[in-house]
Amino acid sequence: MSESKLAGQFFDAAIGLLERVRDEEATRIAEAGSLVADAVADGKRLFAFGAGHSSLPAQDVVYRAGGLALMNFLAVPGTAGIDVMPATLGSALERVDGLAAAVLDSSPASEGDVLVIISLSGRNALPVEMAMNARAIGLKVIGVTSLAYATETRSRHASGTFLKDHCDVVLDSKIAVGDAELSIDGIDAPFAPASTVVTSALMQAVMAAAAGELAARGIEPPLLRSGNVDGGHEWNGRVMKEYGDRIFFRH
């Protein structure tokens, strides 16, 4: 099979998943957007968390052109990607009990804020405890996960529960267990994961829904502009100043 045909098959698979998410998750995307809009309108804060490659869609909505300035990345040291050596340490930290509580306790997150937790499998201790502890202190939790894992795998948390069990809204990315869209003779392992593409699209869809909801209420969404267009820095400076008490990725 030619390389170009495989590339095309990946695009087809990703597009198919995006269409499913668009059509099947529309109601829950709107619900999540409303939670985000409520927090913005009520003077609350927004946070996003993900571990490993699930951190990429979380980072994608923080401090970016066209995004909500109030979205903050809730960082758990050693789990935000491949910035630790060895990279396998990040995977190990996802299974450590108590880490989520320590992070939340030392963060500015408080009652009424919104936390988006992204975990493809939703089975590890870190995202499960993050959701449980966040709700215990009064945060609204939006979970972005693949519900297939909850029926085809076992939880790694002592409670036997998954991320989906501790959220106010759950968005299902529809990603199959294993996160690989292609397989062919001659290659023993399945390959071409699509979870980042789909989950990032879900996150941006929620942000778009929130911006539309705010506008419908007569509230200007606190959006950032690109610093590479004329007037972008000035616009962003105004937004940062106006909402500075809810933006934690700047000093």
Q: Per-block average pLDDT, block size 10, for the chain (251 residues)?
A: 85 98 98 98 97 93 97 83 67 70 91 97 93 96 98 94 97 97 94 97 98 98 96 96 92 53
Please report the pLDDT score of residue 145 as a whole number: 98
Please report the pLDDT score of residue 80 as a whole number: 74
Task: Report the alpha-carbon distance of residue 116 to residue 107 in Å, rounded.
Answer: 15
Please report the pLDDT score of residue 166 as a whole number: 97
Task: Report the alpha-carbon distance of residue 222 to residue 228 in Å, rounded.
Answer: 18
DSSP codes of every residue in 132-186: HHHHHTT-EEEEEE-THHHHHS---STT---GGGG-SEEEE--PPTT---B--TT
How long, in residues, is the chain?
251
Please report the pLDDT score of residue 247 as a whole number: 96
DSSP code of residue 170: E
Please report the pLDDT score of residue 90 as a whole number: 63
With beta carbons less than 8 A apart as the criterion, state whether 209 and 29 touch. Answer: yes
Convert the pLDDT of each residue in 50-104 to its tens digit.
Answer: 988 999 999 999 999 999 999 999 988 767 766 666 767 666 666 667 778 888 9
Task: Report the alpha-carbon distance of residue 117 to residue 111 in Å, rounded.
Answer: 16
Read off φ and ψ for residue 49, nearest 5 degrees.
-135, 140
